[in-house]
Chain A
Amino acid sequence: MSKLAAKDIHFYYGDFEALKGITMEMTAHTVTAFIGPSGCGKSTFLRLFNRMNDLVDGSRMTGLLSMDGEDIYARNIQVDELRKKVGMVFQRPNPFPKSIFENVAYGLRVNGVKDSGFIASRVEASLRAAALWDEVKDKLRQSAFSLSGGQQQRLCIARALAIEPSVVLMDEPASALDPISTAKIEELIFELKKDYTIVIVTHNMQQAARVSDKTAFFYLGELIEYDDTKKIFLNPRVEATQNYITGRFG
């Protein structure tokens, strides 16, 4: 059974229809990449899965979105509980103005975890999973702002992993980073696939090709093509996809 499923999703910012009937499914333990020109609705779609768009005044959605077969827009869904299961990494690193340790511990604390031994072990495990532990283990009490941009982004990944979600949404996680940090994050995504279902938005075609199992191409609020990454990059069905990937448009 698919992990995430979207069925005929329409999304509106006021009168503007940003998503025009999207249907797709994502399997557990795969990396799915969303590609497409700027403004085509990738972020909008991604943010539906952890209901981040609830914050946008005057927005509206129709259609069915489900995780593990459960409608995540159902009345009885507790949004904060849902967000504990669906982690998110944003385009720009956005650590809290707290220490490195407290940044990672935040999700646990708001979850009501009090056991400091458990918290410490989760923080270490998450930082290790985000390949940041060795760089920060001696300065956990320092401000998160003392880290470099790439380190901050990995810290944000660790922060998302600390509460052990089953899905991790990443909105252009490497767009603000240098090639070395980017490579580290890509490696990380590959590792994380074992335990998580990952959806990643990217403008970097090579990145999509390197890290993802499946790729979805969006254009003007519509899902144009969705298939195995290999297929999309080597032999796309639709001409628009071909044009976009080869950089002839967009």
Chain B
Amino acid sequence: MKKAFKRFLERCTEGLLLLSGGTTSLAILLIVLFLFREGASFFKSPNIESGYVLAVHPENPVNHLSPEQIKRIFDSEIVRWDEVGGPAMDIELFRFSDMVQYVPEERLGADFEHVPAVVDSIVMAHPGMIAFYPEQFVAPEQQLKVFPEATIRPEDYFLGHDWQPTAHPAPQFGVIPLVLGTLWVSLFAVIFSLPFGVAVAVYLAEIASERIRKVFKPLIELLAGIPSVVYGFFGLVVIVPLIQKGFNLPVGETGLAGSIVLAIMALPTIITVAEDSMRTIPRSMKEASLALGATHWQTVYRVIIPCSISGITAAIVLGIGRAIGETMAVLMVTGNAAIIPHSLLEPVRTIPATIAAELGEAPKGGTHYEALFLLGCILFVITLVVSITVEIISSKQKSNLT
């Protein structure tokens, strides 16, 4: 009777475990799916501000402009049609708000019913003109050539060098600066924190006395739990001014500041994980090395570190994971300029910081909103690629026995 009950309980536990494991995996899968689905609809969005059209003279052979070209035209960086594959003509800009410079307001009609005709006549009079106006004023009798509706192409997004989601008339969604910013900041964070982390782990595992270890280990574990805003605040108050003075920069909010703050944040994780793995190395392994006349230091770098390589790998992955995904602290100290970083001493902007900063002001379901979702997907893929790469490298390291 008792036995049957016990078996029943075991079954129940088993079932519960299976259920919770299954639902968790399913939930994660669904989240990823949701991210990608939301993100994918981004490529169905128009490549200029929605509700507006672009139009040119009918004899102008240009039929399509990329968001970047549109922006540069309206910023007067591109001033001739031949730069975008058109005739050798100067480009003249016509924004809807420029209307009154061409015709007196009363000619537009009480309900703006004459606007389509006016726009048409203005464009027809200027062969090099490009007009940007609301699509409600497109009319069948117009002679000008309205650009066919175009969507944002993947290359505009993935290879674009400009991130200005609120730019007129064409918002810019080039992710390269954000991706590079994320990679730079994370890479240097790991470069800064890894040697220190491993060094402290070796110290704690091998050199420190039991008393020191008992004090330091919990302290370090505690550091891992401090909210990132606190680290960000610390970075803002201490590190940013230090960098500004030290390198004599106009602003201290730079990629370097972000890397240092992230390195400090990743340290506790790296130390804890690496130290744990070093302590699980069998004592006999250490004794074998020492008994062969190796010094303590030789034992550390020939036996202890190679033996704990899988733990150190885990530490790296977790450290990078923390660095790549960290939002708040980075947002606070990196200056958030969406420009392609040429050195660590320039402001940069990372993907998580962008999402956090912009999601609130992006209208739900709009192009900007979807672009941010897609950024989330990119972040997901980057993390995945990094984890897999580190895993592959470390397993090579392990099988490479020499």
Contact = CB atoms under 8 A, between A and B. Distances in A.
A98 B401 contact: yes
A55 B290 CA distance: 10
Interface string B138-168: 0000000000000000000000000000000
Given A55-B286, A106-B302, A156-B288, 6 more contacts: A52-B290, A81-B293, A83-B290, A95-B288, A96-B307, A106-B292
B291 interface: yes
B396 to A, nearest CB: 14
B294 A110 contact: yes
A96 B289 contact: yes
Contacts of B298: 110
Interface string A40-80: 00000000001010010100000000000000000000001
Contact of A94 (B285, B306, B402): B285
Contacts of B295: 80, 110
Contacts of A52: 287, 290-291
Given A97-B307, A102-B402, A110-B298, A80 B289 contact: no
Interface residues of A, number: 31
A110 B291 contact: no
B293 A80 contact: yes
A130 B10 CA distance: 52
A159 interface: yes
B293 A84 contact: yes
A107 B293 contact: yes
Interface in A75-109: 80-81, 83-84, 87-88, 90, 92, 94-99, 102, 106-107, 109
Contact of B291 (A87, A97, A141): A87
A118 B307 CA distance: 27
B362 interface: no
A220 B260 CA distance: 58
Nearest to A144: B401
Most buried by A among B286, B298, B306: B298
Interface of A: 50, 52, 55, 57, 80-81, 83-84, 87-88, 90, 92, 94-99, 102, 106-107, 109-111, 141-143, 156, 159-160, 163
5 contacts: A92-B284, A96-B285, A96-B303, A97-B401, A111-B293
A248 B162 CA distance: 89
A127 B138 CA distance: 91
B234 to A, nearest CB: 37
A159 B302 CA distance: 15
B246 interface: no
B90 interface: no
A163 B293 contact: yes
A88 B289 contact: no
A191 B285 CA distance: 27
A202 to B, nearest CB: 19
Contact of B293 (A95, A97, A110): A110
Contact of B287 (A84, A94, A95, A110): A94
Contacts of B306: 97-98
B302 A50 contact: no
B293 A83 contact: yes
Nearest to A108: B292
